[in-house]
Amino acid sequence: MKLYNNLNSSVIELIKEFNLITETQKKELENLALAINESITKYGKAEITVICTHNSRRSQLGQLWIKVAAIHYGIKNIYTFSGGTEATSFNYRMVNAVKEYGFKVKQLDENANPKYHIPLGEEDESMDILFSKVYSENYNPQSNYIAIMVCSQADEGCPFVAGASKRISLPYIDPKEFDDTEFESFKYLEKVKEIGRDMLYMTSKIKKI
């Protein structure tokens, strides 16, 4: 499957910015790539659940960007999910930032915790749904998955993640700190790009099998 042209252009721009990633962060991302390689070798696939406390911002981005990166680099058998230690909603500010960056976001209902579908290309037949949920919900894998902890609170609160074959700490600063300030829009868009850049770098280190 090919990414939408505008999304592909954004991916290429982020790849040009790999130099913005610190050497320490690159090492953490390379360790994650190694874990994904090991999972594909052992299980024939890598199921990845990205976790933060409310499953409202950073974990949703992680889920989305790893899928984008896998498509861009032609890495098969990677399946992405997200969850929290509690369910809230995919925060509307982050939804707006994702839209602003050029993703095609389709809201499927008007509930307090709306479900979203974000197709990535003309031939995207998947019906992956993004919504807030606890990481152990049945929608997500229950065993042999890689858990990525993207917020320090969830990282500290979940030293053990039930069912995970691997648990990796990869915390990001929460853009929530800038809610209702003049920097809100900029900081949310910045987080979209930061996590996108990191996940593209990480996926570029996965071996094609």
Mean pLDDT of 180-207: 97
Residue pair 65/101 in contact (Cβ under 8 Å)? The answer is: no
pLDDT tens digits for range 122-175: 988 888 999 999 999 999 999 999 999 998 876 676 667 889 999 999 999 999
What pTM value is reported for the model? 0.96
Mean pLDDT of 199-203: 98
* Residue 198 pLDDT exceeds 80: yes
Give domain limits for the chain: 5-17+45-204
Q: In which band, very low, low, confident or very high, does the pLDDT at 63 lie, cut at 50, 70 and 90?
A: very high
Q: What's the CA gap between 33 and 158, in Å, rounded?
A: 22
Mean pLDDT of 45-55: 96
Q: What is the mean pLDDT of the chain?
A: 95
* Residue 192 pLDDT exceeds 70: yes
Which CATH number among 3.60.21.10, 2.60.40.10, 3.30.565.10, 3.40.50.2300 corresponds to the domain 5-17+45-204? 3.40.50.2300
